[in-house]
């Protein structure tokens, strides 16, 4: 039985779908936007990988061609648009990865694209994540205390200790983020930055 689209998406596929949710564009613009936004901190951005990803998304019906153009001596460029299925796959993937703690690398991608979901939904997903983080933190904290009480050598507990500290720190960060989201401390949503000068200038530069 084929996997649903949300389970087949790679990190690059998620980024491509999210870019197309901003508007129709060709792969060259996608690459330039990803590099301008420093997305290489999250994943490796290469022309080959991106073009391969766009082709796979098209075959899956998540994006589709809407035209080609050629400007002067530049290579012909094909412009793509997001289909309804692509939008649903993107949003479903974001909901899943924002709420779970099993894949830290996927969560970073989901967090960077969380603005594609409306504020209340993001808050709900992050509250589910917080519950899972709290349970994991308690488990690590109690396990570490028990190991030390049993005189387990400290040298074999350094990773255990690191993970407990990281979980505690992430809980503090997540509580802060949830407080700011609930207080509407900053604009949020898929259209929150579309009319800003910086955003428009970035899109125009990437199209050249």
Q: What CATH number is associated with residue 46?
A: 1.10.10.10
Query: Bigger pLDDT: 75 or 53?
Result: 53
Structure tokens at 114: 């969380």
Residue 92 lies in a domain: yes
Residue 12 lies in a domain: yes
pLDDT band at residue 196 using 50, 70 and 90 as cut-offs: confident
Chain center to CA of 106: 7
* Whether residue 177 sits in one domain with residue 198: no
Show Cβ contacts of residue 181 under 8 Å, excluding neighbours closer than 6 positions: 119, 122, 123, 126, 188
Are 80 and 26 in contact by the 8 Å Cβ rule? The answer is: yes
Report pLDDT for 72. 59
Query: Tokens 């949300």 identify what position?
Result: 6
* Whether residue 43 sits in one domain with residue 13: yes
Domain with 194 in it:
5-98+190-207
Residue 166 lies in a domain: yes
Cα Rg of the chain (Å, integer): 21
* Whether residue 73 sits in one domain with residue 10: yes
Structure tokens at 84: 């309804």
How many domains does one find in the chain? 2
- pTM for the structure as a whole: 0.89
Query: Bigger pLDDT: 147 or 77?
Result: 147
- Which secondary-structure segment (H or E) carries 75? none
Are 19 and 203 in contact by the 8 Å Cβ rule? The answer is: no
* Whether residue 201 sits in one domain with residue 175: no
Residue 55 lies in a domain: yes
* Whether residue 39 sits in one domain with residue 57: yes
Q: What integer is the mean pLDDT of 94-111? A: 96
pLDDT band at residue 116 using 50, 70 and 90 as cut-offs: very high
- Of the segments 43-47, 92-96, 194-198, which one has the largest average pLDDT value? 92-96
* Whether residue 73 sits in one domain with residue 133: no
Q: What integer is the mean pLDDT of 80-92? A: 98
Residue 110 lies in a domain: no
Residue whose C-alpha is closest to residue 127's, from 157, 159, 171, 161: 171
Residue 112 lies in a domain: no
* Whether residue 11 sits in one domain with residue 39: yes
pLDDT band at residue 3 using 50, 70 and 90 as cut-offs: low
* Whether residue 200 sits in one domain with residue 169: no
pLDDT at 74 over 70: no
* Whether residue 123 sits in one domain with residue 77: no
Residue 108 lies in a domain: no
Q: Which long-range contacts (CB under 8 A, 24 or more apart) does 106-113 make?
A: 106/11, 108/42, 109/11, 109/14, 109/15, 109/42, 109/43, 110/14, 112/39, 112/42, 113/14, 113/15, 113/18
């Amino acid at each position: 039985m084929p996997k649903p689209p949300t389970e087949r998406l790679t990190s690059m596929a998620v980024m491509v779908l999210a870019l197309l949710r901003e508007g129709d564009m060709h792969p060259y613009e996608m690459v330039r936007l990803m590099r301008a936004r420093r997305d290489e901190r999250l994943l490796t951005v290469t022309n080959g990988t991106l073009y391969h990803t766009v082709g796979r998304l098209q075959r899956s019906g998540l994006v589709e061609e809407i035209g080609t153009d050629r400007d002067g001596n530049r290579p012909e460029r094909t412009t793509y648009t997001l289909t309804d299925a692509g939008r649903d796959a993107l949003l479903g993937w974001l909901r899943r990865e924002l709420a779970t703690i099993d894949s830290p690398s996927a969560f970073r991608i989901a967090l960077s694209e969380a603005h594609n979901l409306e504020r209340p939904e993001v808050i709900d997903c992050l509250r589910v994540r917080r519950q899972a983080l709290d349970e994991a933190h308690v488990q690590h904290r109690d396990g570490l205390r028990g190991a030390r009480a049993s005189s387990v050598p400290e040298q074999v507990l350094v990773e255990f200790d690191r993970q407990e500290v990281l979980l505690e720190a992430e809980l503090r960060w997540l509580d802060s983020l949830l407080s700011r989201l609930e207080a509407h401390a900053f604009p949020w949503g898929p259209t929150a930055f579309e009319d800003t000068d910086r955003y428009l200038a970035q899109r125009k530069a990437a199209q050249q």
